[in-house]
Structure formats: C-alpha cells, structure tokens
Amino acid sequence: MNKSLIIASCILGMSIFSAGWLISHESENDRGTEVNPIFTENELTEYLHISDHVLQKIISDDQSKRKELVNKGSWDIYTFLPYATIGETKLFMKEEVDKWLKYQALNVK
C-alpha cells in the first residue's frame, strides 16, 4: 500500500507540474496575438482590409447622411461608423466597429 501511495503522489505531482507548464506557455503565446481595442484610421483600414480612400468615403457618406437625418430626429445607433475625434485624430473602438459591421451586414439594402 505504501508503494501505491508513492506512485500516486508522483503521478499527481507530474500532473500539477505539467498543467502549470502548459498554462504558463499558453499565456506567453496569447500575449503576441492580442488585438488593440482602439484603432487609428490606418489600423482600422488594416483591420477591415480596405483602403484609406474607402474609409474616407464611408466617413464622408456618413456625415452627409447624418446631416439629412438631423431634422428627422432619430436613427439607429450603428447606422454610422462610430468613432471619437481627439484633436484631428479619429479613434475607433474595435468592439463598436464590430457591432457596426454586424449591423451593416444585417441591414443590407
């Protein structure tokens, strides 16, 4: 019985060590693949796989549509590409861009 307790302890110890090693190496690999949650215009064009010209057209078209809808009073939140302007820099939150994409895909006319 003493021999089986030693074997069981060794197996348990190796299992704990292996699990710890796997968790630590998995974390190291994940760190390199994280996506920044806030994009600049250049980063957004890379994320969406579109040209800068296409992004500028989307923003310009959105601004025109927004001016038309201001008098009507309301619109769906993801009708327009969401961004914040700080100084002259436009910043796009990945989560909001993803929601905008989903909305656009569901509301194709």
Domain spans, the chain: 1-34, 38-106
Phi-psi region of 49 (alpha: psi -120 to 50; beta: other; left: phi over 0): left
For the chain, the distance separating the N- and C-terminal CA atoms, rounded to the nearest angstrom, is 74
* pLDDT number for residue 40: 96
**pLDDT tens digits along 37-50:** 999 999 999 999 99
* pLDDT number for residue 28: 46
DSSP-derived 3-state class of residue 109: coil
* pLDDT number for residue 99: 94
In whole angstroms, give the CA distance from residue 69 to residue 61: 12
Looking up tokens 């909001």, which residue turns up?
96
| pLDDT tier at 29, thresholds 50, 70, 90 | very low
pTM: 0.63
Helix H or strand E encompassing 86:
strand 84-86
